[in-house]
Amino acid sequence: MSPQHGSQPIQHQFNPYSDNGGTLLGIAGEDFAILASDTRQSVDYSINTRLSHKIKVISPPVTKEMKLESTDIVGTKNSVLFGTNGFSADGDALTKAFEENWKWYVHDQNSNVETGFEFLNENNEEKESFMSMQSAARNVQHLLYGKRFFPYYVHTILAGLDEEGKGCVYSFDPVGSYEREQCRVGGAGASLIMPFLDNQVNFKNQYIPGTNSTERRKIEYLSLDECLKLVKDAFTSVTERHITVGDGLEIFIIDKNGVRSEYHALKKD
């Protein structure tokens, strides 16, 4: 109905969302996983800050012994690397909500408390102390779907090690649909990087030479170095082509030794 008809006043509505740009990328290797993001936060054509953190390492306490083995450790092998991309206020709120759940899960499991009944554990099995990636992912689904009709406007990616110690990546849409994957890109650069990763990680459209495109190249795990190269190439490239990506690249790597991080400058233009 046009406003002239006058029966209904025009409603000026508050838009509770904004797009804060940026890109988030996760790759799972055989015994490691990577979660990386750029550090720019922007809105429209403005750069809010060149150094914001879209990834949170949610980790049990890092012990002195672990620090001795490697000084730059920022989390244990039981960590969840939690990344969000999209509307940053929702991203921060979701991260906080998950962290809360993760902590309560640890407390409810009574995990770090010596019970005095350890002798019953004849096989000396390591007690499950911290939230598994499978449980973390399901919990995030609940958080996201809980706001199904006023969604967290974010693309969420978790990275960590599964219960067999294998690298894993879980990715979510804004309302909680999720999947475990070998790799995933979220956010502004997704459409630019994802096809590249399909080809380079999952060997899509790669065929064995001489088979006349009939025999696919067999999927195999990439090494950590190969993955890091891919990540850096992906971000330098998307920085060239996307205006909301740039400034800095933050990479978190989790393996059996724990979590460490790298920072690389990206173009600030």
Which helix (H) or strand (E) segment is 195 a member of? helix 190-200
Does 93 bind another protein (CB under 8 A)? Our answer is yes
What's the number of CA atoms in the CB half-sphere (13 Å) around residue 122? 0
Query: Which range touches another protein (CB under 8 A), out of 44-52, 138-146, 175-183, 186-194?
Result: 44-52
HEC sequence for 45-90:
CEEEECCCCCEEEECCCCCHHHHHHCCCEEECCCCEEEEEEECHHH
For residue 146, the minimal CB distance to another protein (Å) is 13
Q: What is the dihedral of CA 239, 244, 248, 249, to 10 degrees?
A: -70
Region 176-205 residues binding another protein, contact defined as CB under 8 A: none
For residue 92, the minimal CB distance to another protein (Å) is 7
Contact mark string toward another protein, 9..38, x via CB under 8 A: x-xxxx-xxx-x------------------
Q: Which residue, 97 or 192, has its beta carbon nearer to another protein?
A: 97
Does 148 bind another protein (CB under 8 A)? Our answer is no
- What's the rounded Cα separation, in Å, for the pair 91 and 135? 20
Q: Which residue, 9 or 116, has its beta carbon nearer to another protein?
A: 9
Does 51 bind another protein (CB under 8 A)? Our answer is yes
Using CB atoms within 10 Å of the CB of residue 238, give its burial: 0 to 12 exposed, 13 to 18 middle, 19+ buried.
buried
Does 48 bind another protein (CB under 8 A)? Our answer is yes
| Residues found in the chain | 269
- Contact status, residue 18 vs residue 43, Cβ threshold 8 Å: yes
Q: Which residue, 216 or 268, has its beta carbon nearer to another protein?
A: 268
Can you give the binding site for another protein, defined by CB under 8 A? Answer: 9, 11-14, 16-18, 20, 41, 43, 46, 48-52, 87-89, 92-93, 150, 268
